[in-house]
Amino acid sequence: MTFVYIIIGILVLFFGMQFLMIFSAKRARGTKISGLKGSLKTLEKNGSKGIVYFYSPSCRACKMQTPIIKSMQRANKNIFDVDISRDLETARIFGIKATPTTLAIKNGIIDQVYVGVKQQDIFEKFLRNKN
């Protein structure tokens, strides 16, 4: 019986950590971004709109999401990808706690936070929306 309690405890801990990461990522909505470098700097301006995708080469879920982002980048210059193993500073600026995490930025403010693998139409809808 003790074994069952241990398994249940591990499952509760695992799912609890998942919810904690998602909740903390969602709290970033509405945060003004600053301190970016390179091409990401354009997202700090008013009137700007873009997607920033954070991934890690060792992340299994990222291996599903990355081809979607890469194909979208060919058609849109305001979609950026950040390998957190090479650019941890940018991930810290945005408060990234898990990969894959994709941020939708509008007017220098984090508008939406997507944790995990998402379909391409979600990102396209954000980029098409005039609001």
Structure-model confidence comparison of residues 121 and 16, the more confident one: 121
pTM: 0.80
Please tell us whether the domain made up of 2-128 is placed in CATH 3.40.30.10.
yes
Report the candidate in 100, 114, 94 with the shortest Cα–Cα distance to residue 37: 94
Pick from 24-33, 48-57, 66-75, 85-94: least confident = 24-33
Give the Cα-Cα-Cα angle 129, 102, 110 (nearest 5 degrees). Answer: 60
Pick from 27-31, 52-56, 121-125: least confident = 27-31
